[in-house]
């Protein structure tokens, strides 16, 4: 596909880092030459200096032949105009705009986004999505990743198998037999940085990350049974003053389980704004890594720290400081794999990857099948699809086991008439079925072909 990405900042970089892994022709447009130089060094893209909203720029890069335009600059108005130009002058098929302002995001103005007004096919708000992703994780203490399906009734979550977890060292088949009172499916595992779909005879190893699909209503029982921490996070420390921490703080103030909330930021204006707008949070202004500031925040008493500054290195170092102070759970927002060595040195630190969250909001619109939800897992090693079959699908009546899926791709659940079916190999596809599918990158085109019939 030919894809135009407007903006080479953190959001644009997130999108480019994912899309560049596939066979895409990517053109990056930005007004900052230094940003373009950095992007061009890291990824196989065509950098273009200029504003993506200008008709002459779009014409010069061949927008008329583009499949998708993703306007991801830090200026909402520029992004909206870029989509308008792409639609009116160059008939670009798919237009995606990053929108950060709550005014443009208000449900009151949803009628703006259509072909007669502002021709935007998809609005993404990365900061809002990141905040929600983090809130999903901390809502299930012990979880490392959380992905909701079916309006939150079904959840895919990951957790780490520690030495007191009863799954270690059983085979997958034995786990299903021993815990057959629960409906769950182990859909993916990560071991020593390697991601794979486990077969029935695969044994669980110590420190494996296990991805498990289950009903939300069963999560509490499963966590208790598997000895995964279920103690709620009562005292939270947020590092960074920005839209992400602001959204998280507002949500946590309404959470009765949170008894203490502190925000540490070195941004004076944001510190003032948060102090005025938030009711329960204690806002501390100062150098975030200062011993004095951390002491004032009583870091050692925190149940969880969440580091969401704009700098990956700072987020990782802040989590390292929190771990050394005795904080059990830490989360770090990262945007690049440049600091992977540092990432791996912080034991049990939860990585929140900006690129996979941002791209997850776009997957529904760039995949050629009917997706209700789609997520990029971990740091982009695979995708999970919630796929609704076409009403006239030619697959009706076929057994799941008889569908020739690509290597490392698998259907692991069916939602049928509101009921989750886990044991699916002998199930025949019915009209109206919704399938949960794990998708390896090299199998995407083949799966699109199979499920578009």
Q: What domains, with CATH codes, occur in the chain?
A: 2-124 (3.40.50.720), 142-225 (3.30.70.1450), 235-348 (3.40.50.720), 359-451 (3.30.70.1450)
**Mean pLDDT in residue range 404-429:** 91
**Residue 17, pLDDT score:** 84
Beta bridge partners of 48: 29
Residues 369, 451 contacting (CB under 8 angstroms): yes
Mean pLDDT lowest among 230-234, 413-417, 442-446: 230-234
Residues contacting residue 276 through CB under 8 Å, at least 6 positions apart:
none
Neighbours of 410 (CB within 10 A): 20
Residue 51: pLDDT over 90: yes
Residues contacting residue 402 through CB under 8 Å, at least 6 positions apart:
none
**Mean pLDDT in residue range 86-102:** 92
Tokens 């022709």 correspond to 25
**Mean pLDDT in residue range 402-407:** 91
Q: Whole-angstrom Cα distance, residue 439 to residue 419?
A: 23
> pLDDT class for 88, splitting at 50, 70, 90?
very high
**Mean pLDDT in residue range 412-430:** 91
Residue 160: pLDDT over 80: yes
Per-chain mean pLDDT for the chain:
90
**Residue 164, pLDDT score:** 85
Residues 206, 168 contacting (CB under 8 angstroms): yes
Sheet harboring 304-307: ordered strands across?
Answer: 282-285, 260-265, 235-239, 304-307, 329-334, 350-353
Residues contacting residue 164 through CB under 8 Å, at least 6 positions apart:
227
pLDDT tens per residue across span 218-230: 998 898 888 887 6
Residues 43, 17 contacting (CB under 8 angstroms): yes
pLDDT tens per residue across span 317-363: 999 999 999 998 999 999 866 666 666 667 789 999 888 898 888 88
DSSP secondary structure of 154-200: EEEEEEE--TT-TTTT-BHHHHHHHTTTS-EEEEEEEETTEEEPPPT
**Residue 107, pLDDT score:** 67
**Residue 110, pLDDT score:** 65
* pTM of the predicted model as reported, rounded to 2 decimal places: 0.89
Q: Whole-angstrom Cα distance, residue 12 to residue 20?
A: 12
Tokens matching residue 364 = 């529904």
pLDDT tens per residue across span 288-310: 999 999 999 999 999 999 999 98
**Residue 108, pLDDT score:** 63
């Amino acid at each position: 596909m030919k894809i135009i990405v407007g903006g080479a900042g953190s959001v644009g970089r997130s999108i480019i880092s994912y899309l560049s892994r596939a066979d895409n022709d990517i053109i990056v447009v930005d007004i900052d030459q230094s940003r373009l130089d950095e992007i061009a060094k890291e990824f196989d893209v065509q950098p273009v200096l200029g504003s993506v909203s200008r008709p002459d720029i779009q014409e010069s890069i061949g927008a008329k032949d583009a499949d998708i335009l993703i306007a991801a600059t830090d200026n909402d108005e520029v992004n909206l105009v870029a989509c308008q130009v792409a639609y009116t002058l160059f008939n670009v098929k798919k237009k995606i705009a990053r929108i950060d302002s709550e005014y443009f995001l208000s449900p009151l103005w949803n009628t703006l986004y259509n072909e007669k007004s502002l021709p935007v096919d998809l609005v993404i708000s990365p900061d809002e999505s990141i905040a929600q992703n983090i809130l999903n994780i901390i809502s299930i203490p012990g979880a490392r990743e959380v992905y909701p399906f079916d309006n939150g009734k079904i959840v895919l979550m990951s957790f780490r198998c520690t030495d007191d977890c009863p799954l270690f060292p059983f085979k997958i088949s034995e786990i299903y037999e021993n815990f057959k009172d629960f409906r769950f499916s182990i859909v993916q595992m990560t071991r020593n940085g390697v991601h794979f779909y486990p077969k029935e005879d695969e044994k669980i190893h110590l420190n494996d990350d296990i991805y498990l699909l289950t009903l939300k209503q069963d999560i509490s029982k499963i966590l208790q049974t598997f000895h995964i921490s279920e103690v709620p996070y009562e005292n939270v420390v947020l590092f960074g003053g920005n839209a992400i921490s602001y959204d998280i703080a507002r949500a946590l103030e309404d959470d009765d389980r949170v008894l203490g909330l502190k925000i540490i930021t070195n941004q004076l204006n944001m510190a003032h704004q948060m102090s005025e707008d938030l009711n329960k949070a204690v806002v501390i202004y100062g150098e975030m890594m200062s011993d004095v500031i951390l002491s004032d925040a009583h870091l050692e008493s925190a149940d969880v720290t969440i580091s969401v500054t704009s700098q990956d290195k700072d987020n990782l170092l802040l989590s390292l400081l929190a771990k050394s102070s005795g904080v059990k759970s830490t989360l770090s927002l990262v945007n690049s794999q440049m600091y992977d060595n540092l990432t791996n040195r912080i034991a049990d630190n939860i990585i929140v990857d900006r690129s996979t969250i941002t791209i997850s909001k776009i997957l529904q619109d760039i995949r050629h099948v009917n997706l209700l939800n789609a997520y990029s897992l971990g740091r982009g090693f695979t995708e999970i699809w919630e796929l609704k079959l076409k009403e006239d699908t030619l697959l009706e009546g076929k057994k799941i086991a008889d569908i020739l899926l690509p290597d490392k791709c698998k259907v692991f659940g069916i939602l049928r008439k509101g009921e989750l079916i886990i044991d699916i190999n002998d199930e025949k596809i019915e009209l109206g079925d919704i399938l949960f599918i794990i998708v390896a990158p090299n199998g995407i085109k083949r799966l699109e072909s199979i499920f578009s019939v």
